[in-house]
Structure 1
Amino acid sequence: MTVKIGNIDLGEFPLLLAPMEDVSDPPFRYVCKQNGVDMMYTEFISSEGLIRDAAKSVQKLDIFEYERPIGIQIFGSSIETMREATSIATRVNPDLIDINYGCPVKNVACRGAGASLLQDIDKMVAMTKAVVESTHLPVTVKTRLGWDDNTKNVREVAERLQDVGIKALTIHGRTRAQMYKGSADWTLIREIRRNPRIRIPVFGNGDVDSVEKAANWRMEYEVDGIMIGRAAIGYPWIFREIKHFFKTGGHLEGPTIAERVEVCRTHLEKSIQWKGRRTGIFEMRRHYSNYFKGVPDFKHYRMLLVSLEDVQDIYGVLDEIKEKIDFVPA
């Protein structure tokens, strides 16, 4: 059986790319798509920003045909602004709308948005219903186990949000209080998947950073698919490696130094195309150390890459890395 969100067929066991602020932009999504991810999302977009026509929020609506299926993720604290933002997002024709009820950071959660809604399930349900009624597209939700250890209410959330029309649910296996610390606990996710009332796909998220973990947790927690976030930063190959293991039971060799350079270069090119030369070069600096993590003698090159402002100079350094660093993939 294949997993479906509305009419979107995601295959037998989809791998999803998590929406990550300042990471999941079109350049990053491009390299992940090249490596086999099944479903992607935009960075989360402020509903208030969309309504004000704020440049940063509007730019995040950019999606491309090769990215499909892709969802636009929105967040907000006001039901009315979420309704209006849904209409705006629908007009750019994504494949679905996703609501963020999981972001734990202070400037989101402490303003009544993101994971804050886990403290007010009635409002969360009303907001979700308003979003569902404001679009013809499938609506999905990403959330957490609860606000803290004393209020793990995701069981109630799953049932009530399904009742108002969401088509899939992604659960991060931490509470808001945990932020990104400690270990993700998927046992509650499995309980929800086993709940006979739940008929929509349930995806697990949190701490999947290896082929073995993806394979083991697929069986142990019985989810319909896995969403991967931080482990894909600088390592988009994780998607192809997991898929290869599912298909063959064998391990795919990790990327060579030439592959790392090539994908890093592609990411940079896409970043410049989308953001312009200056911003594209500047914002790419956060990615270099991730692309070459574990590569010996990289520190000198990293210092160069984060200081250079001319793209041809950067290409020259990348070429030198490919030629001079001796690296055997794991």
Structure 2
Amino acid sequence: MVKIGTIELGDFPLLLAPMEDVSDPPFRAVCKANGADLMYTEFISSEGLIRDAAKSVQKLDIFEYERPIGIQLFGSDIETMRVCAEIATRANPDLIDINYGCPVKNVACRGAGAALLQDVPKMVKMTEAVVKATHLPVTVKTRLGWDDNTKNILEVAERLQDIGIQALTVHGRTRVQMYKGEADWTLIGRLKENPRTTIPIFGNGDIDSPEKAREYKNRYGVDGIMIGRASIGYPWIFDEIKHFLRTGEHRSAPTLADRIAVCKQHLEFSIRWKGEKVGIFEMRRHYTNYFKGMENFKPFRQRLVLADTLAEIAGILDEICDAYEVVAV
């Protein structure tokens, strides 16, 4: 049984990665329904949260059906992160996660996210401040290092464990790589082999199939896997991996009816969370992903993106079902 503090996650948990503009409560709802064991909010700017910025505050929204769930914070100032850990704790998540892995320029160049991999002493001090600011378990998500010459994850893991983090997720790329090239899990495996490592270690990067999940589980010995981009438009990946690990067999791929049903659920959650106007607008980025690979889908996608009422969207989805069933016959 893998545990973070007192949170029991099963024998080999599958985690939904925090993804900006993706892993909001509606997206998390459909992933939870399809097998995600632990999820996180989108990463929340400590500077935005301390200024009470509406977008940052809204990201604190969590719901009972999502548990266990962590709130993920990022920032460059230790005191600001400490205060934000207190604010996030009051939102009553199951844990607090610190992002030391985001590679994008407007985060890293401000001294946050993966930038802390260049200043491990500061990373340790910041983490210690967050650990002391909350009674909740604190976890960290990071990368192998800043670049190929500074892959310092083995040192980072030991030092963060020593000051109290209770789990670590490692993305198998450096900051310089961004999301290019193939993720290298070799150091993640070495981290698991280190007798000093006692906390759960979760691997992240390029897991996009049940076969790859099983291969990396067996090869690198991780305690669980975090899945990000492969879940966008395809929340079924969690249950598919679990079924394959359990039986060695594949689940049937989701049918068009399955895709439409989950798309509708996602849309309904989005409207419930943000109201019809904003909920419909924010759902537009997901349609292409839900119907990826379908031939001649562009006209339907254009109509879905332009539709501005729930009834109109539901009608288009019904048309899609009818049109593709006719083609299939």
TM-score range (shorter-chain normalised) is over 0.9
The structure-2 alpha-carbon separation of the partners of 1:91 and 1:255, relative to structure 1 and needing over 3 Å to count, comes to same
SS in 1 for 2:239: helix
Q: Which residue of 1 aligns with 2:54?
A: 55
Where structure 2 has 5 or more consecutive residues not aligned to the other structure, the ranges are none
Q: Which residue identity is paired with 2:3?
A: K
- Distance 1:110-1:52 versus aligned 2 partners, 3 A rule: same
Alignment pair present for 1:71 and 2:70: yes
CA distance in 1, matches of 2:295, 2:238: 24
The residue number in structure 2 matching 1:212 is 211
1:72 CA drift (Å): 0.2
Deviation at 1:328, TM superposition (A): 11
Call closer, same or farther: CA 1:328–1:37 in 2, change over 3 Å.
farther
> Following TM superposition, by how much is the alpha carbon of 1:296 offset from its aligned partner in structure 2, in angstroms?
2.2
1:305 aligns with 2:301: no
Query: 1:100 — aligned with what?
Result: 99
Structure 2 letter corresponding to 1:198: T
For 1:242-281, what aligned pairs fall within 5 Å after superposition?
Answer: 242-281=241-280
Displacement of 1:327 after TM fit?
9.3
State the aligned residue count.
328
**Structure 1 regions of 5+ residues with no counterpart?**
none
Secondary structure in 2 matching 1:254: coil
| Number of the residue aligned with 1:141 | 140
1:3/1:316 Cα in 2 relative to 1: closer, same or farther (>3 Å)?
Answer: same
Structure 1 residue 82, shift from structure 2 partner:
0.3
Greater Cα offset, 304-313 or 103-112:
304-313
Q: Is 1:292–2:305 an aligned residue pair? A: no
Is residue 116 of structure 1 aligned with residue 111 of structure 2?
A: no
Tell whether the 8 Å contact from 1:109 to 1:116 is kept in structure 2 after alignment: yes
What is the TM-score normalised by the length of structure 2? 0.98
Q: Does 1:166 align with 2:165?
A: yes
Give the drift of 1:278: 1.3
AA in 2 matched with 1:284: M
CA contact (8 A) 1:104 1:114 kept: yes
Structure 1 runs (4+) deviating above 3 angstroms are: 326-329
2:110 and 2:246 map into 1 onto residues whose CA distance is: 44
Change (3 A) 1:327 1:250: farther
Query: How much does 1:310 deviate?
Result: 1.8
Q: Residues 217-250 of structure 1, C-alpha deviation per residue, up to 9 Å, x if partnerless?
A: 1101110000000000000000010011111111
Output the TM-score relative to the length of structure 1: 0.98
Aligned residues of 1:272 and 1:279 also touching (Cα < 8 A) = yes
What is the distance in 2 between the residues matched to 1:166 and 1:260? 38
